[in-house]
Each structure stands twice: as structure tokens, then as C-alpha cells.
Structure 1
Amino acid sequence: MLNIDQFELYSVAIITLLAVISPGPDFAMISKTALLKGRRDGLLCALGISVAISVHLSYTLLGLGIVFANNLWVLNTLRYLGAMYLIWLGISALWPDIKAVFLKAKSQQICKQLKSENSLQNKPTRNSSAFWSGFACNALNPKTMLFIVSLFSQVISTDSTLLMELSYGAYIAIVHFVWFGLVACLLTSAKIQKKVLVFKIWIERVTGLLMTSLGLRLLIS
């Protein structure tokens, strides 16, 4: 029989839920993917986010988490990589408008984009793209790193067995998938998707600006 600390168990459960539902890069990523690419890609993105938890869990259980957290250069490196990734995603979403401004043909670009929307929707997307986008977003998120390290160093007892620690890690990953999976399903409901078809270009712009701003904020924080 496993000797489970009830206070520790409830603490991990509640802290994880609060951390997961708080807005951040993962939420922006899942929203963009689900709204613009559909439910399947949204769920794959959610799966990628949850699988990325294993990266943070692995080095934490190996004892490297505290070493990383106490070395400023590791945190800064992860922060810069995560920030550049978000900025790149944001600029990619805004690139049609940026290109149109430089070419002084914004109206023509928008018309072409509107005409190509139907064909783009019918084109098969690479399933791996949505998965790896979610994976990279979470794996390069320094806040997730600090969350996992803090949880295992301050909340979870050092007397906990490896099996229990792995169970906590599995729980954290499952909560990520369930929450972001629900977000993806809600954003791909029939009612919302009808509005998405009308405002697709503006959704792309807003999410692009949001990701760029998140990246810049992470870069200068």
C-alpha cells in the first residue's frame, strides 16, 4: 500500500488546476490553432502541450530542475528561445499584412486571401504541425519549467516514491490535455465556427499581435 499524503495530494491537484487555467502562451496557441485550423488540429495541439510536460518532468526528477532554476543563464536561454518562438509565430500570422504594406498592395493582398480561404480550408494539413507547435510552445515556456520545479521542490515531499512522483507528472499532463482539449472543443463549436468564417482574417491578426506581444513581454521581463 502506498502511503499517500492527503495534504500533498490535494495541494498538487489544486495548484495544477490554477496554473493550467491561467492565461498564457499555451492558451494563445490553442486558441489560434483551434479557431483557424479546426477541432482535430486543436486537440493535437493540446496533446503536444501535455506531452511537453514530460520534458520538464524528466529533468526535474533527475535533479537538474533545481540546478537549472538556480542558474540565471539557463532561465534566460529558455526565456529567449520561448520569446523568439512566440514572436516568430506572431510575425508569421501577420506576414500577409506586413508584406502588403511593403508592396503597397494591401487591398489586393486581402482580396487574394479572401478568395483563397475556401481552398485553404480544403487543403489537408499536416497533423504533426499542430502537435509540434503545442509541444514547442510548452517545452520552451520558462513559466512551466518554474512551475514544475517549484511544485516538486516545495510542495511534493522528498520522501515521495518515484511511482508517486511519476503519477503526479501524469496527472499534470492529463490536466493540461483535458483543459486545452475542452478549450479547443468550445472554440470549434458550430456557432463559433460560423463567426470565424466571417472574421478569420481579423482573428489571424489579433492572435498574431497577441503572440508577438507575449513574446516581447517574455523577452524584456
Structure 2
Amino acid sequence: MIDWAAIATVFSVYAVGVVIPGPNFVAVAHKAASTSHREALAMVGGVVVVNLFWASCAILGIGIVFATFPWIALAVKVTGAAYLIWFGGRLLVKAGSAGTAVMQQEKSSCLQSFRAGFATNIANPKSMAFYAAVFASAAPKHVSLPTFIGMIATVAVVASLWYGFVAVVFATPSVAARYRRGKAWIDRICGSVIVALGIRQLVR
């Protein structure tokens, strides 16, 4: 039997949490404005896959591993912070360079975008903490398979709709044109935000 109350709780908490800007939002918005909607949606795919992974871990109680072996959590935290600092630093270094050319091999480009979305999200251990908090308050002690599927489906739909919306909006010609006009400053702002998020993750 499906526990609709648990699914509704997951939806209400997750929907609020996912729209709060973070590394995923910045990465998807920048990708959409600087390349194409296909590459941005490919990045969204990577973000959603990791969201489903963290949600599944939280429901199955795998987060207990972090509590039992804190050095694993520390390793993930440091690695994730280093990746975010590297990612943001690369934007800062390349800020103001010539407009991004469309890649000749779109299939390869989309695969790279998917990997970037995956890496950006998997590098953030706070995602695990967020999901652990959401599902700790929402999931019943013994989750039935239908309820598990319902919770995972809720995460998939909400994440896909929100980040897909961000990708489509920032890839529109008018927004992309504004990006090209202010590319140097936008890249510096995006890079600075991501570096700051990485440093914050490292010191907290």
C-alpha cells in the first residue's frame, strides 16, 4: 500500500529545498546561457540521476555509513569542495574569452554536459544531508516498495521540472544574447559564487 502522506511530505519539503539556488542552479543556468538547451538538458539529466541516488541512499538508510565512518564523510566533503573550487576557478580564468562555439559533435558535448551535471551534484555531500533530513521526517519506519517508488518518482519529477525550466529559460535567445553581451562579468560572478560555495563547504 502507498503511504500518500509520506509522499506528500517529501514533495512539500523537497520542492522548497530544490528551488533554493546552489551549485546545481548556477551550473545549469550557465551551461544553458553559454551553449545550447540540449547540452543544458543533458546536464540536468546528470543532476537528476544523482538526486535519485542520494534519495535512494537516504530511504535505504545508507546515510548511517557516514555517521559510522566519519572519515568517509570528510573525504567526500574535501573532494567535493575541491571540485567546486576548480570548476568555479576555471570559469574565472576563462571569463571574457571569445563566445562559446557550438561543438561539432553534439553527442559528445551532451555526454560531457551530463558528466558535468553528475560531478557537480555528487561533489556536494550536503545533498546527502538534505535528503537524509527530508526522508527521516517523511519516510515511515518500514517503507513499502510502492511508497519507495512514489518517493523516488516525486524527486525525479520535481528535479526534472525545476532544472529543466531553468535550462529552457536561460537558453532562450534573448537571455542567451544578454549572456553573450555580459559574458565576462557573468562568468566572473558565476565562478565566484561556485568558488565561494566550495570554500564554504570546506570550512564548515
TM-score by length of 1: 0.82
Distance 1:11 1:22 in 2: 18
Distance 1:127 1:5 in 2: 36
Equivalent residue in structure 2 for 1:160, among 143, 147, 158: 143
Counterpart position of 1:107: none
Contact 1:48–1:131 (CA under 8 A) maintained in structure 2: yes
Distance 1:3 1:206 in 2: 45
Larger radius of gyration: 1
Distance 1:88 1:26 in 2: 15
Contact 2:56–2:152 (CA under 8 A) maintained in structure 1: no
Equivalent residue in structure 2 for 1:53, among 19, 43, 51: 51
RMSD: 2.0
Unaligned runs of 5+ in 1: 98-109
Matched, 1:79 2:77: yes
Aligned-residue offset at 1:173 = 2.2
2:20 alignment partner AA: S
Give the % identical residues: 28
TM-score by length of 2: 0.88
Structure 2 vs 1, CA of residues 122 and 59 (structure 1 numbering), >3 Å: closer, same or farther? closer
Structure 2 vs 1, CA of residues 18 and 69 (structure 1 numbering), >3 Å: closer, same or farther? farther
Equivalent residue in structure 2 for 1:190, among 150, 161, 173: 173
Contact 1:69–1:149 (CA under 8 A) maintained in structure 2: no
Distance 1:153 1:75 in 2: 18
Distance 2:17 2:69 in 1: 23
Aligned-residue offset at 1:84 = 0.7
Aligned-residue offset at 1:5 = 4.2
Matched, 1:33 2:31: yes
Matched, 1:146 2:129: yes
Contact 2:15–2:158 (CA under 8 A) maintained in structure 1: yes
Aligned-residue offset at 1:178 = 1.0
Distance 2:4 2:163 in 1: 28
Aligned-residue offset at 1:192 = 1.1
Counterpart position of 2:103: 123
Counterpart position of 1:13: 11
Counterpart position of 1:216: 199
1:54 alignment partner AA: L
Aligned-residue offset at 1:62 = 4.2
Contact 1:48–1:135 (CA under 8 A) maintained in structure 2: yes
Structure 2 vs 1, CA of residues 198 and 172 (structure 1 numbering), >3 Å: closer, same or farther? same
1:14 alignment partner AA: S
DSSP-derived class of the 1:22 partner: coil
Note the alpha carbon deviations across 1:84-103, whole angstroms, 9 max, x for none. Answer: 11111111112246xxxxxx
Aligned-residue offset at 1:215 = 0.7
Distance 2:45 2:73 in 1: 25
Alignment of 1:56-71 (within 5 A): 56-69=54-67, 71=69
More helix by share: 1
Contact 1:90–1:211 (CA under 8 A) maintained in structure 2: yes
Counterpart position of 1:103: none
1:194 alignment partner AA: A
DSSP-derived class of the 1:41 partner: helix
Distance 2:168 2:22 in 1: 18
Alignment of 1:87-106 (within 5 A): 87-96=85-94
Query: Which region of structure 1 is more displaced relative to structure 2, 172-181 or 122-131?
Result: 122-131
Aligned-residue offset at 1:13 = 0.9
